[in-house]
Structure 1
Amino acid sequence: MSYENILLKKEDKLSIITINRPESLNALNAKTIQDISAALDEVNSDPSCRVVILTGSGEKSFVAGADIKEFSEFGQEKAEELARNGQNTLFNKIENMSKPVIAAVNGFALGGGLELAMACHIRYASENARLGLPEVTLGLIPGYGGTQRLPKLIGKGLANELIFSAKMIPAQKAKEIGLVNEVYPIDELLTKTKELANTIAHNSPMAISKAIHAVNLSDTDKGFDTEIKYFGELFELEDKKEGVSAFLEKRKPNF
């Protein structure tokens, strides 16, 4: 399948989705959201793909924000529709993918760009990355899940500070507060992200899929019961049998 605003590359068990609008610092517009969503559907249905990497083209920007020109004249009804459709089409889809999605944040991740990174399961960033939610400077608030995901990652107090102040923080600060997992030089970012992705890709895809869902419920009253249920279900699957057999036979499992 061909895409207008993204590039999709498959490497063994990995799929790399690159947002490709360098002329606008990879800003999110409706077409880009649709392209990423369709690419996610494609790789999620591909049994050879175990892990997805999401990044931006160039060395300046992951996603510099939403394309403000698209919604500058919206009223309340259309604005709510925009936020709801965006969350259902892309951001919630990423969070609930059956395969891990790793964000390789290669520069600016602002507004919708940071919300996109936060929807991913893991975030690596380049040293030149700058992250923030500047919506209040436009008289708005984040609309793609930013007010909900940021407090879960860094705590309510720090989330309030970043949202209310609209300030950008450097990658190292983002790591210190738990917003990103690791920080690397820009020329090493994708290599390091692939190394992590390949490590994950060799583990049980069924177990990882269950783990994603269980972790997503960790702040609800369903979390513990879900973990117990999935733990039991996995005992009936071939991945568990292969994993335990490999351990007992002192060999690497073949999932």
Structure 2
Amino acid sequence: MTTPRTKNPVPSWLSTPYPSVSHSIISFPRPHVLLVTINRPSHMNCLPVEATIELGALWSWYDSEPALRCAVFTGAGTRAFCAGMDLKQRLDIINTNDVALDYPRGGFGGMSNRTGKKPIVVACNGHAHGGGFEIVLNADVIFASPNASFRLPEVLRGVAALAGALPRCMMLFGNHRTMDLCLSGRVLSVEEAVQWGLVKEIVPQEKLVSRALDYASDIAALCPDSVIISRLGAREAWETGVSRATIRGQELYADGMLKSKNAEEGLAAYREKRDPKWYPSHL
């Protein structure tokens, strides 16, 4: 097993150790906030199969760790957030007839088909192409640098974007914009991405991660149970459709939120005109 790579010491407030990773840097720069940085800048932060498996395990751990409430995902360097799959490795797998290791249930990068419990904010520090774009499409909130761009270049490579991007593009952008992207393989500029509602803000490169961390800290300061359930209630429509999402949201609210100590604390704090002191979420 490789040694975990950290930028900061592991905080004592974590209840469980995080999985070992060798292709990313893990740090905890703010209270209750996880920062994950893909650390392959010389390869445009593309991900081999092993890196995707690592990230799948890491996001599962993040969801189960009560002390963590929001995560930020970014890439090392200033050129690329993630250029997608390591295509050289993929070609080797095809040429040698090796069987690739199975991707985690969350899909590429552990994220392209992730549902999860807790929010992940992307600080897109450059190109997000192929699988990198598929990760971004399933993130909860996206900040991007001025040089960021988004692309599904699979038609140029003899493959297809089957890790979650196509249906998500259709839901986000509609038929004609999706067809424009996936049939031409063209680059979607960061300015277009803002116009299309994908990117929340364009932030200067040197301030990008800090801005995303500030935003994550704002989320982490809120009731963790409310954040989890609000996110799941909204995402249910993404997965199942509006009518089912309405019913499921009510089930989650009744069975989860009102039975938690945080519901009592939040309502008591409102009555007593004080700031609430949230408990870790065990949903």
Query: TM-score if structure 1 supplies the norm length?
Result: 0.90
Deviation per CA, 1:28-63: give whole Å up to 9, x if none: 111111221222233333222111111000111100
Aligned length: 253
Q: 1:244 to 1:59 in 2, by over 3 A?
A: same
Distance in 2, matches of 1:42 and 1:195, equals 22
Partner of 1:87: 107
Deviation per CA, 1:168-195: give whole Å up to 9, x if none: 1221210110121211111111111011
- Say which of 271, 275, 278 aligns to 1:248: 271
Q: Which amino acid aligns with 2:205?
A: I
Partner of 1:223: 245
Question: Is the 8 Å Cα contact of residues 20 and 57 (structure 1) preserved in structure 2?
Answer: yes
Instruction: Describe how 1:1-80 pairs up with structure 2 within 5 A.
Output: 2=4, 3-11=21-29, 12-72=31-91, 74=94
Question: Is the 8 Å Cα contact of residues 71 and 79 (structure 1) preserved in structure 2?
Answer: no
Gaps (5+ residues) in structure 1? none
Instruction: Describe how 1:101-120 pairs up with structure 2 within 5 A.
Output: 101-120=120-139
Quote the sequence identity (%): 25
Q: Which amino acid aligns with 1:177?
A: W
Question: Is the 8 Å Cα contact of residues 103 and 117 (structure 1) preserved in structure 2?
Answer: yes
Distance in 1, matches of 2:42 and 2:260, equals 48
Question: Is the 8 Å Cα contact of residues 86 and 144 (structure 1) preserved in structure 2?
Answer: no
- Say which of 186, 189, 192 aligns to 1:173: 192
Distance in 2, matches of 1:238 and 1:213, equals 19
Distance in 1, matches of 2:244 and 2:56, equals 28
Quick check: 212-221 or 195-204, which moved more? 212-221
How far is 1:18 from its partner?
Answer: 0.4
Q: 1:137 to 1:210 in 2, by over 3 A?
A: same
Quick check: 226-235 or 13-22, which moved more? 226-235
What's the Cα RMSD here?
A: 2.4
Deviation per CA, 1:50-90: give whole Å up to 9, x if none: 11111000111100121111222639x98998678672881
Distance in 1, matches of 2:229 and 2:108, equals 21
Instruction: Describe how 1:111-130 pairs up with structure 2 within 5 A.
Output: 111-130=130-149
Distance in 2, matches of 1:37 and 1:46, equals 14
SS in 1 for 2:54: helix
**Going by fraction, where is helix more abundant, 1 or 2?**
1
After TM superposition, where is structure 1 displaced by more than 4 Å over at least 4 residues in a row?
A: 77-86
Query: TM-score if structure 2 supplies the norm length?
Result: 0.82
- Say which of 216, 224, 229 aligns to 1:205: 224
